[in-house]
Amino acid sequence: MIYGDKKIGVLVQGATGKQGEFHIGLMNEYAKTVGGRGVVAGVTPGKGGQQVHGVPVYNTVKDAMKEHDIGAAVIFVPAGAAADAIMEEANAGIGTIVCITEHIPVQDTMKAVAYARMEGASVIGPNCPGLLSPGEVKMGIMPSALFTRGHVGVISRSGTLTYEVVDELTRAGIGQSTVVGIGGDPVIGQTFVDVMQRFEKDPETKAVVLIGEVGGNLEEEGATCTDLPIVSYIAGVSAPPDKRMGHAGAIVEGGEGDAKSKIARLKKHGVPVASRVSEIPGMVRDLFRCGC
Amino acid sequence: MKLHEYEAKNVIKAAGIPVPAGFLIRSPDELTPHLDTLGNAFVLKAQVDVGGRGKAGGILMADKATGAKVAQELFGKQIKGLPVKEILAEQRLDIKHEYYLSITVDRSSRQPLILFTEAGGIEIEVTAKEHPELIRKVVANPLMGDLPPFFIRELLGTAPKEIGPVINKLYRIFIEKDALLAEINPLVATPAGIFAADAKIIVDDNALGRQGITVNRDLSEREREAEKHGFSYVELDGKIGVIGNGAGLTMATLDLIEYYGGKAANFLDVGGGAESERVKNAVRLVASVPSVKVIVVNLLGGITKCDEVAKGIIAAEIPQKVIVRLAGTNEAEGRRLLSEKGYEMLDTMDLVVKKAVEVTA
């Protein structure tokens, strides 16, 4: 398990909102089926003393930490409050912070991620579906019914596309060790590299499926920093050329953030790239068959 | 959203970075009354958001005698397909040297990245490729506040010290204006001092509200309509309309269309947890584009419930054929509703896309 197992206690920030309440229910339903601790506390400023699905709600993260053993947090607060939530959790000493919230201004994310790093916390997201280690723990919003336990790790910038891949893997009888949605924003906490390094130390993970998108060059950094066998897929081959980021984007990335050149560079490094999602299970099976 | 050149220059002028004297005109008549502020020789710059504007004929030299005629000519032009509605008239600078300065968001370090080179100008990308050592870079920790002086020393090297304050001011603009990019190219040295001859600022779409920007000009009318409903929507030039949930899955559907030799007309991401009313609006919006001959719906329900999706598709009552792939929560009920009404449903995204490509071939 790369960010915690069934023994980890989870805090939900934004517990009394519609999303927070709904997903506390689903996360604890999952915890029950696997015998895990699940969500043990919620936080919504001003709503301390309430309960959501039997989970006690506190005004601050520190209040919750006094009463419970908490190792991770999941954030459902609105965009304007999300960076603050990340920093509050990092400041309170929570090690893994999953931020589901989308549409956070990137200046806020840069600050929150820099601060969390200073405090030694790992931020997953923002704008992500979280993570799920089948049979152990779910932190976020992934639909658990599609997952099955096994030895393939999945890292993805996308949400539903991740579910599609997991669904294909499960139908093909290939289980997953941990599936991590790292988020689709230009600035995110844990990148392909960070997650890949954790997979490398994880005895449960024998191969990794890496699902990328147009923009940036972090996919190859992730794919080339490990000895684990990898199958990749890059979405956006047909995407119209993005509104160019002035000259700076071209200077930083060598003008190569588009999907086609990204695929070419992955292949050059010897990383197999699926041209359709439905090809992924077969390619993963080939990895195992050749024992490489 | 990208600011026009004159808007970006207003921002950097307000921050204390010198810009050439100039003014905006919306017709040739508006030029002559203010010509005295520009001197005899000046430049007319079309305010269109395209790369390579100069090479495409969007920047013309003029003087007092030819000004009105040149302005007339520029207003009559199309620059890379865009009509010229606004022109920035600017004093011509006596340029001794061109520098390049930009601040952008660096995905790798997750921090602002500042680029500076003494080899600025229109060939900057060639320089970056052939002589990357000429581009100086620093990454600024966003928690540091203003840039410390050693960063400025590292960036400037042997360049004039007067550029230091320009870097500090541009960095402050980058932070305060929620910019994804703040770029001055070229930043020029003249006998009268340092000037920003051109400027580009892109504001983070997620921060438009707090920047007081109410309308995102980068979006077409239909895209804005989609934004109101909370959809992300993009128009392309094929015949297949695409509706999916989640940007990645929608993009993968588009890629699959290309893989099977078809072309998408547009795509719409309905987002998570869509209810029937939202789906109905989505289907109608995609169908409202005349070139759409068939619509592919590819939804993988996690939070999204398939029966709600089915009700939305049926309620939309559009003339085009809809081919559906639904999987996930309440899948059986969704399928039952759609098959009762005779909709075509297939089990995988490969199958729906293949079918849609056949229909439009």
Q: Are residues B77 and B191 in the same domain?
A: no
pLDDT more than 90, % of chain A: 80
Q: What is the pLDDT of residues A105-144, one digit of tens each?
A: 999 999 999 999 999 999 999 999 999 999 999 999 999 9
First to last CA, chain A: 22
Distance, CA of A218 to CA of A211 (rounded, Å): 11
Say whether pLDDT at B231 is over 90.
no
Q: Are residues B240 and B268 both part of a single domain?
A: yes
Q: Residue B1 domain-assigned?
A: no
> Do B247 and A158 make contact, defined as CB atoms within 8 angstroms?
yes
Asked if A163 and B178 come within 8 Å (Cβ–Cβ), the reply is: no
In a domain, residue B3? The reply is no
Residue B100 is a catalytic residue: yes
Question: What is the average pLDDT across A55-80?
Answer: 98
Question: What CATH number should be reported for the domain holding residue B32?
Answer: 3.30.1490.20
**Do the domain assignments include residue B213?**
no
Domain ends where: B71, B91, B111?
A: B91
Q: How would residue B49 be classed by pLDDT, with cut points 50, 70 and 90? A: confident
Do B242 and B309 lie in a common domain?
yes
Residue A234: CB atoms within 10 A of its CB come to: 24
Residue A215, chain B, CB below 8 Å: the answer is yes
The topology (CATH level 3) of A142-289 is Rossmann fold (3.40.50)
The CATH number for B243's domain is 3.40.50.261
Task: For residue A116, list chain B residues with Cβ-Cβ distance below 8 A.
Answer: none
pLDDT greater at residue A254 or residue A269? A269
Contact A160 B244 (CB under 8 A): yes
- Is B117 within the bounds of a domain? yes
Mean pLDDT score, B134-146: 94
Residue B346 lies in a domain: yes
B69 and B160 co-located in one domain: no
Q: In terms of domains, do B289 and B327 share one?
A: yes
d(CA A22, CA A15): 9
- Per residue in B277-332, pLDDT (tens digit) is 999 999 999 999 999 999 999 988 766 788 999 999 999 999 999 999 988 778 88
Asked whether the beta carbons of residue A160 and residue B248 sit closer than 8 angstroms, the reply is yes
Q: Residue B79: pLDDT above 50?
A: yes
Task: Give the residue extent of every domain in chain A.
Answer: 10-124, 142-289
Which residue from B122, B197, B145 is spatially nearest to B166, judged by alpha carbons?
A: B197
Residue B258: which domain range? Answer: 221-360
Interface of B with A in 185-244 (CB under 8 A): 185, 200, 202, 204, 206-207, 210, 218, 234, 236, 244
B215 lies in a domain?
no
Instruction: Quote the CA–CA distance of A78 and A19 in Å, as a whole number.
Output: 10
**Which tens digit of pLDDT belongs to each residue from A35-66?**
999 999 999 999 999 999 999 999 999 999 99
Distance CA B155, CA B118 (A): 10
Question: ipTM score of the complex?
Answer: 0.89
Which CATH number belongs to the domain containing residue B112 in this structure?
Answer: 3.30.470.20
Place of tokens 């017709």: B27
Evaluate whether the domain defined by A10-124 bears CATH number 3.40.50.720. Answer: yes
Q: In one letter, which amino acid is B301?
A: G
Q: Is B8 a member of any domain?
A: no
Helix residue ranges, H only, chain A = 18-34, 61-67, 79-92, 106-118, 160-171, 192-201, 218-223, 248-253, 259-268, 280-289
Q: How many structural domains are present in chain B?
A: 3
* Same domain as B119, residue B38: no
| Position B303 in a domain | yes
